[in-house]
Amino acid sequence: MMTIMFLIFFFMIFGKLAGFAFRATWGIMKMMFYFIFLPFIIVGLVMGGLLYIAFPILLVVGLFSLLKTA
């Protein structure tokens, strides 16, 4: 009986920790994309001569960030 209760509580606690770890990882990846990868992608597009692609991406992201903060 004690073993079954131990296993139930064990999976409840570590299941919640695993869920928290997935949520934290998703948040960290979103931050890394916005602050690290996106600027490098835009600069790479500009340096590669693809300004006609980089400029609309920059406009969309800029407008989205303005509307989201307001």
Domain count, the chain: 1
Name the DSSP class of 48. Answer: T
- pLDDT at position 50: 84
Domain of residue 35 covers 2-69
Give percent of the chain with pLDDT exceeding 70.
Answer: 97
Burial 43-56 (b: 16+ CB within 10 A, else e): eebeeeeeeeebee
Rounded to the nearest 5°, which phi and psi values hold at 48?
Answer: -85, 0
The model carries a pTM of 0.50
The yes-or-no verdict on residue 55 having pLDDT over 80 is yes
Average pLDDT over every residue of 14-37: 87
* In contact, 50 and 58? CB cutoff 8 Å: no
What are the φ/ψ torsions at residue 49 (nearest 5 degrees)?
85, 15
Locate 49 and state its tokens.
């001569």
pLDDT tens digit sequence for 57-70: 888 888 888 888 75
